[in-house]
């Protein structure tokens, strides 16, 4: 039962949740069913076709991102920083929870692919079959689209007048570009990247949440996050 047919397109795909009946109990129908009767599946396909047809969107987004960074830093140059500590804490908590759920979905799937398929298949195989539909496709698309709201991380740095290092904005720009490109071009390695990124972000944003709330344990050092990244 692990091979499922997308009845909307007549294409088979590997549904990871079907491989492990016990794990399948944690999945919702909307995640694992790629049929025309599933509004989530229809929206996923609409999003995908829109992304293919509009490759300029990430470019425009990055250009606006850069302009707003420059404008924001100039605006706050002679002004006092804002105090959005509680908002920042909730923002980081929401991203930590989202990333944890994403990691819970994609990491087991990625480990299955890496242990059951040769390296060549994981890097050069058919992304549509291995994870392009069902739960894998659902969470991969959410991962890619999440790179846009994650740019808000920089907003909090700017309005709090914290140092904006090169690595911060470079990371956001390159990850957004890579994720969009990998997704629309069916690059299989993008799935492994998503699983790894979800995993690290679940810890990283959890760390930022604790920092914002000033309840971070002394033993929880940022070096662990840096090593994981």
Predicted confidence (pLDDT) per residue in 74-125, tens digit: 999 999 999 999 999 999 999 999 999 999 999 999 999 999 989 998 888 8
What percent of the chain lies above the pLDDT cut of 90? 63
pLDDT bucket at 8, cuts 50 / 70 / 90? very low
Whether 6 has a pLDDT exceeding 70, the answer reads no
- Domain assignment present for residue 67? The answer is yes
pLDDT top residue among 57 and 215: 57
| Annotation says 1 is catalytic | no
Give the residue numbers spanning the domain of 218: 43-228
Whether 206 has a pLDDT exceeding 90, the answer reads yes
- Domain assignment present for residue 116? The answer is yes
- Domain assignment present for residue 163? The answer is yes
- Domain assignment present for residue 24? The answer is no
Strand partners, 6: 11
- Domain assignment present for residue 15? The answer is no
- Domain assignment present for residue 16? The answer is no
Whether 5 has a pLDDT exceeding 70, the answer reads no
Task: State the catalytic residue, choosing from 116, 171, 172, 186.
Answer: 171
Quick: pLDDT tens for 125-156. 888 888 777 889 899 999 999 999 999 999 99
Prediction pTM value? 0.90
**Total structural domains within the chain:** 1
- Domain assignment present for residue 77? The answer is yes
Helix pair angle (39-53, 134-146), 10° resolution: 50
Helix pair angle (152-159, 56-75), 10° resolution: 10
pLDDT top residue among 101 and 39: 101
Window from 7-21, 93-107, 131-145, 161-175 with minimum mean pLDDT: 7-21
Give the per-residue pLDDT at 4: 59
Whether 2 has a pLDDT exceeding 80, the answer reads no
Half-sphere exposure of residue 113, counting CA atoms within 13 Å on the CB side?
A: 28
pLDDT top residue among 204 and 30: 204
- Domain assignment present for residue 200? The answer is yes
Helices (H), the chain: 21-24, 29-32, 39-53, 56-75, 85-116, 119-124, 127-130, 134-146, 152-159, 166-184, 189-213, 222-228
């Amino acid at each position: 039962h692990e091979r499922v047919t997308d009845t909307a397109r007549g294409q088979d795909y590997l549904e990871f949740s079907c491989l492990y009946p016990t794990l399948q109990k944690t999945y919702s129908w909307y995640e694992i069913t790629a049929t025309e009767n599933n509004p989530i599946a229809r929206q996923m396909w609409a999003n995908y076709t829109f992304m293919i047809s509009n490759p300029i969107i990430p470019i425009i987004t990055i250009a606006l991102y850069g302009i707003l960074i420059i404008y924001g830093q100039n605006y706050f140059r002679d002004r006092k920083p804002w105090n959005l500590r509680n908002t920042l804490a909730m923002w980081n908590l929401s991203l930590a929870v989202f990333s944890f759920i994403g990691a819970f979905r994609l990491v087991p799937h990625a480990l299955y692919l890496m242990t059951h398929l040769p390296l060549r298949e994981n890097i050069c195989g058919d992304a549509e079959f291995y994870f392009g539909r069902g739960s894998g496709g659902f969470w991969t698309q959410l991962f890619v689209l999440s790179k846009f709201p994650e740019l808000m991380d920089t907003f909090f740095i700017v309005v709090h007048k914290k140092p904006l290092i090169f690595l911060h904005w470079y990371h956001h720009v390159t990850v957004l570009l890579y994720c969009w490109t990998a997704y629309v071009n069916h690059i299989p390695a993008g799935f492994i990247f998503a699983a790894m990124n979800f995993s690290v972000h679940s810890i990283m944003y959890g760390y930022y949440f604790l920092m914002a709330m000033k309840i971070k344990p002394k033993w929880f050092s940022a070096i662990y996050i840096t090593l994981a990244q």
